[in-house]
Amino acid sequence: MKVSIYGAGYVGLVTAACLAEIGHEVLCADVDSSKIAILQSGASPIYEPGLETLLQRHQATGKLRFTAELPTAASFGLVQFIAVGTPSLANGAANLSAVFAVAELIGQHINQFCVVVDKSTVPIGTAKLVTEKIQQALNARKANIAFTVVSNPEFLKEGAAINDFMQPDRIVLGCEDEKATQIMHELYAPLIADAPNKWLVMDVLSAELTKYAANAMLATRISFMNEISHVAEKVGANIEHIRQGIGADKRIGPHFLNAGCGYGGSCFPKDVRALLSTAQEVDINMPLLQAVECVNERQKTVLFDKLSAIFNQDLTNKVIAVWGLAFKPNTDDIREATSRVLCEALWQQGATVRAYDPVAIEEFRHVYGERTDMHYCADKETALQGADALVIVTEWDEFRSPNWSLIKTSLSQPVIVDGRNLFEPKELRALGIQYHSIGR
Ligand code: NAD
Residue 277: which pLDDT band, with cuts at 50, 70 and 90?
Answer: very high
135 alpha-carbon distance from chain centroid: 32
Domain layout of the chain by residue ranges:
2-201, 212-298, 300-436
pLDDT at residue 66, as a whole number: 98
**What does the pLDDT read at residue 158?**
94
- Whether 2-201 and 300-436 share one fold: the answer is yes
User: What is d(CA 78, CA 107) in angstroms, rounded to the nearest whole number?
Assistant: 14
User: pLDDT value at position 339?
Assistant: 98
How far is Cα 313 from Cα 319, in angstroms, rounded to an integer? 14
pLDDT band for position 361 (50/70/90)?
very high
The pLDDT score that the predictor gives to residue 245 is 98
Output the pLDDT for position 23.
97
pLDDT value, residue 159: 95
Give the single-character DSSP code of 262. Answer: -
Does the CB atom of residue 86 touch ligand 1 within 6 A?
A: yes
What is the per-residue pLDDT across 397-411, written as a single tens digit (0 to 9) for each? 999 999 999 999 999
| Average pLDDT, integer, range 374-394 | 98
Q: Tens of pLDDT along 182-201?
A: 999 999 999 999 999 999 99
- Cβ of residue 435 lying under 6 Å from some atom of ligand 1: no
The pLDDT score that the predictor gives to residue 157 is 95
Check residue 279 and give its pLDDT: 97
Query: What pLDDT is recorded for position 83?
Result: 98
Measured CA distances, 230 to 274, 301, 413 (Å): 27, 13, 26
Q: What was the pLDDT predicted at 227?
A: 98
Question: Among candidates 120, 77, 72, which has minimal Cα distance to 95?
Answer: 120
Q: What is the pLDDT of residue 383?
A: 98
pLDDT band of residue 270 (cuts 50, 70, 90) is: very high
This prediction has a pTM of 0.95
Domain made up of 212-298: CATH architecture: Orthogonal Bundle (1.10)
Closest C-alpha to 81, from 162, 161, 188: 188
CA distances from 195 to 94, 140, 151, 415, 435 (A): 33, 44, 21, 50, 46
Which residue type sits at 39? L
pLDDT band at 146; cut points 50, 70, 90: very high
The model's confidence at residue 123, banded by pLDDT at 50, 70 and 90, is very high
Catalytic residue among 267, 294, 343, 377: 267
**Nearest ligand 1 atom to alpha carbon 153:** 44
CA of 82 to the centre of ligand 1 (A): 9
Q: What is the pLDDT of residues 74-108, one digit of tens each?
A: 999 999 999 999 999 999 999 999 999 999 999 99
Pocket-testing residue among 10, 69, 336, ligand 1, by greatest number of atoms within 8 A of Cβ: 10
Say how many Å lie between the CA of residue 13 and the centre of ligand 1: 9
Q: What is the pLDDT of residue 105?
A: 98
Best of 102, 117, 266 to mutate for ligand 1, by most ligand atoms within 8 A of CB?
266
Report percent pLDDT > 90 for the chain. 100
**What's the CATH number of domain 300-436, 1.10.230.10, 3.40.50.720, 3.40.50.300, 1.10.287.90?**
3.40.50.720
What pLDDT, on the 0 to 100 scale, is given for residue 294?
Answer: 98
28 in active site: no
Mutual angle of helices 126-140 and 97-109, in 10-degree steps? 40
- H or E stretch at 322: strand 319-323
Q: Are the C-beta atoms of 9 and 85 separated by less than 8 Å? A: yes
Can you spell out the DSSP letters for 167-230?
Answer: S-S-EEEE---HHHHHHHHHHHHHHHTT-GGGEEEE-HHHHHHHHHHHHHHHHHHHHHHHHHHH
**Which residues neighbour 197 within 8 Å (Cβ) at sequence distance 6 or greater?**
none
Distance 87 CA to ligand 1 centre (A): 9
Rounded to the nearest integer, the mean pLDDT of the chain is 97
**Pocket of ligand 1 contains residue 32 by CB under 6 Å:** yes
- Return phi, psi of residue 111, to 5°: -125, 10
CB atoms within 10 A of CB 434: 14
Query: Measuring CA to CA, which residue among 393, 334, 321, 395 is closest to residue 362?
Result: 334
Supply the CATH classification number for the domain 2-201: 3.40.50.720
